[in-house]
Amino acid sequence: MVNGAAAGNLPAELTRFFGREQELEDAVRLLRQTRLLTLTGVGGVGKTRLALQIAARLRAADHVRAWMIDLGTVHDPVTCTPQRLYAHMALAMGVHQHAQAGPRVVLDHLGAGRELLVLDNCEPVVPATRVCVTELLGAAPHLRILATSRQVLKADGEHTLLVPPLPPRDARSLFIERATAAGADVAAPVHADLVADLCRRLDGLPLAIRLAAGRTRLLSLRQLLAGLDDRFKLLAETGDSTLEHVVDWSYQLCTGAEQKVWARASVFASTFDLAAVEAVCGGDGIDTSNMVDIVAGLVDKSVLTVDSTTGTARYQLLETLRDYGLAKLLTAAEVPHLRSRHRDYYHRLVARQADTWLGPGELDAMAAVHQERPDILSAVDSAVTQGQLPVARAILRNLVRVRAPFFYGFLPAVLERLLRAIETASRYPARTVAEAKDVAATAATAAWVAVTQGRDDTAQRLLGVAHQALDGFGVTIGPVLFAEGASQALGAGRPEGIDLLAAARAALSGGAETSGDEHMATMTWAMATAFLGTPAAAVAASAEHLRNAEARRAPWAISWALWVAALAALRGDDHQGATDYLRRALRLQRDMRDQWGQTWSLYLCACVIAARLGDAPDARAEAELAAWLLGAARDRQRMVGVSLPGLPPLADLQTHAHAQIAAVLDESSIAAAMRGGSRGQAHAVRVALGEPTPRRATASGNGGLTDREREIAALVAQGLTSGQIGAQLRIGPRTVDVHVGSIMQKLGVRRRIEIAARLAVLSERRS
């Protein structure tokens, strides 16, 4: 045996290593504190390359000898014993021995110095590896072991570090470098969006990115994107590095129950929680009471990723693994059955949130629906495909009832599906009164959504469908009265809409499950009265609406009741009252991140300021502020997809405000102020509230975070959970989770733990 003075056997790396700076720092720090670190992650994510970088950094900085041993090449891994594994290690280190192998064979070669053993691809021989690392670490106090495995070793003293997919920027850089090496010209800015889409569809997996980049010799970027519908065929290559071979191996590591749940979980469009996987994937050979253990096994084997730092743990399959699971599901002929279970689960979830909407927990209800948005919309599409149109219509109506599409900005996707469901239903006459009411209610819901977007022509067409569905049955329903009243009042500016909305309130009253619908009718009735009724009637209606919302302690409803109260005060020339109401509304809307509500409030702020110009000490400055806010509101209105001309009462209010401003400023000054508001709309709420603003509208020192997001990010950085943050800020854990998702997206990080580091970088830049 030899003690060897060589620096180890780390192979030379032939291609550039991208990114992973945070993981490198974390791993080096951990290996200086502990003796066994396992890098886990899905196959093809780059664990081996990262391990080499870690070993090289420790060798250079700490002067350790580093040895790399690939356990994935062990012959017949199923029957591998610790003795055979020691023999494999010895051979990889250049030790030729003839006696029975044991830990001394490896330890004698390592010597007594500072040594790092890198055990790569441990997943096929986890039981034997667990025994070996325990014996080696127990016998050699100066030894450290860095393992890579899709499955945790579960050895004493083991620390694990999840290797995530590459972030978008590094994924794009890797693709461009490898495609350029293959002879393709993909670095031009004109290709940027296609490259970004490709890397996203490839899950940021380095292996998949390298294979796809190699295909640029033969295929255009658009052809590559289209081919990803069958990614395993597109990215097939000879040898063990083919994407399908890598995923196949992960599948073989799983137990039969884990394989079934993997395949069944492929019906989820995005992240899911334990309740969802139990409801959708349990039964039919899977004992639901064992689901926690099955899911834990899939997490341990890096099939499912988990985010357990939020109020409720969320699980996810990468798109590559989802495609693989779906192929297995197709082979087992389980797809229709699983799609039905998935559809029914999200049907129940949305209905439950809609029925309990309006109250202290309404933001949590909205956040719950938003969090499940991809799967809810997928359930709608499945219902339409399977001919379950009543289910599709019910899900869509309940989505609108819970207001999440407005609040979180996925209204266009909901309206598109509403229109599709109505178009399909209108081809066939209703056979029963229940079916007629169902179709009419859905058409009316779609009509009301169209009204809020300023699309009254669409609303009128949909109301025609609703009336056609009810013809011959001699019934009238609350949702149709509501949509008609909203269309008359807000879409056409006709006072007749007020009485229709009053009738809708009466029709929707009387039940706990429709209290939210009754309140929306009350809100729209009060708004219509404030726009079109007498000033006295406007004040009375808005006061009733505000009492209703405050009695329910419903923050979103209160914010809109305050908006209506401000409008009524403006109609009564109570400019100070209007200002006070609006400031309260804006603070609530900012805390809730309600972009839709903020847009309407900014318009109304501009109108209130314009109305009081006659009493202003500095009329010119106030007029410029009003015009600036109009510009900011106009820019936001475009972002939320509202056509102001299609909402005559609001358009008339703006026209009147513009005329009042024009009495003080010339048109070129108004236009300049509005352009300034458009450029600075990101901090328009602060301007409207009279708060200090950044010196530049595009200031990026805070990573684009809102005040509330900065507050939550700071608490996350302190290690607080969503529940603890919610209790401190008096908001629900689900609302915190939505804020955290936005924070991570804006900061360009994938994990909660990275928020603190990113905040520190931003702080250094500001200083």
Give pLDDT tens digits for 599-656. 999 999 999 999 999 998 899 999 999 999 999 999 888 888 888 888 999 999 999 9
Neighbours of 119 (CB within 10 A): 27
8 Å CB contact between 324 and 247: yes
The pLDDT confidence band at residue 754, using thresholds 50, 70 and 90, is confident
8 Å CB contact between 611 and 602: no
Give pLDDT tens digits for 420-474. 877 777 677 778 999 999 999 999 999 999 999 899 999 999 999 999 889 878 8
Going from the C-alpha of 29 to that of each of 35, 167, 705, the distances in angstroms are: 11, 22, 30
The pLDDT confidence band at residue 414, using thresholds 50, 70 and 90, is confident
Pure H helices in 63-119: 82-92, 103-110
* Confidence (pLDDT) at 681: 85
Does residue 675 surpass a pLDDT of 70?
A: yes
Q: Cα–Cα distance between 483 and 508 in angstroms, integer?
A: 12
Identify the sign of the CA torsion 424, 428, 429, 435: negative
pTM value is 0.80
Q: Cα–Cα distance between 44 and 243 in angstroms, integer?
A: 8
Q: Are strands 65-70 and 115-120 parallel, antiparallel or unpaired?
A: parallel
Average pLDDT over residues 49-61: 92
8 Å CB contact between 544 and 574: no
Neighbours of 32 (CB within 10 A): 11
Q: Cα–Cα distance between 442 and 4 in angstroms, integer?
A: 78
The pLDDT confidence band at residue 409, using thresholds 50, 70 and 90, is confident
Q: Cα–Cα distance between 194 and 192 in angstroms, integer?
A: 6
8 Å CB contact between 736 and 371: no
Q: Are strands 314-316 and 305-307 parallel, antiparallel or unpaired?
A: antiparallel
* Confidence (pLDDT) at 5: 42
Identify the sign of the CA torsion 727, 731, 733, 737: negative
Q: Of the ranges 18-22, 251-255, 525-529, 727-731, which one carries the lowest mean pLDDT score?
A: 727-731
Q: Which CATH architecture has domain 21-162?
A: 3-Layer(aba) Sandwich (3.40)
Q: Of the ranges 99-108, 503-512, 517-526, which one carries the lowest mean pLDDT score?
A: 99-108
Going from the C-alpha of 225 to that of each of 202, 229, 544, the distances in angstroms are: 10, 8, 55
The pLDDT confidence band at residue 700, using thresholds 50, 70 and 90, is very low
Q: Cα–Cα distance between 600 and 588 in angstroms, integer?
A: 13
8 Å CB contact between 168 and 200: yes
- Kind plus residue range of the DSSP H or E element containing 651: helix 648-662
Residue type, 598: Q
* Confidence (pLDDT) at 495: 96
Q: What is the domain partition of the chain in residue ranges?
A: 21-162, 168-245, 426-531, 534-688, 707-766
Please give the share of the chain, as a percent, with pLDDT higher than 90: 59
Q: Are strands 314-316 and 158-162 parallel, antiparallel or unpaired?
A: unpaired
Sheet with 115-120, edge to edge strand ranges: 65-70, 115-120, 143-149, 36-40, 158-162
8 Å CB contact between 585 and 688: no
The DSSP code for 732 is -
Average pLDDT over residues 63-87: 90
Give pLDDT tens digits for 110-148. 877 789 999 999 999 999 999 999 999 999 989 999 999
The closest of 628, 627, 603, 623 to 613, measured between CA atoms, is 623
Residue type, 393: R
Q: Which fold has domain 707-766?
A: Arc Repressor Mutant, subunit A (1.10.10)
Label residue 617 exposed, middle or buried (CB < 10 Å: 0-12, 13-18, 19+).
Answer: exposed
Q: Cα–Cα distance between 419 and 440 in angstroms, integer?
A: 12
Token pair in block for residue 332: 């087992």
Give pLDDT tens digits for 268-280. 999 999 999 999 9
Q: Cα–Cα distance between 159 and 156 in angstroms, integer?
A: 9
* Confidence (pLDDT) at 77: 87
Token pair in block for residue 66: 């580093």
The closest of 69, 68, 35 to 138, measured between CA atoms, is 35
Average pLDDT over residues 665-684: 91
Does residue 236 surpass a pLDDT of 80?
A: no
Whole-angstrom distance between the N-terminal and C-terminal Cα of the chain? 58
Chain-centroid distance, C-alpha 8: 44
* Confidence (pLDDT) at 694: 56
8 Å CB contact between 587 and 555: no
Q: Are strands 36-40 and 143-149 parallel, antiparallel or unpaired?
A: parallel
8 Å CB contact between 115 and 64: yes
Backbone angles phi, psi at 162, to 5 degrees: -75, 130
Token pair in block for residue 356: 């309990």
* Confidence (pLDDT) at 762: 62
8 Å CB contact between 340 and 297: no
* Confidence (pLDDT) at 298: 95
Identify the sign of the CA torsion 459, 465, 469, 471: positive
Average pLDDT across the chain, whole number: 88
Complete DSSP assignment for 224-236: HHHHGGGHHHHT-
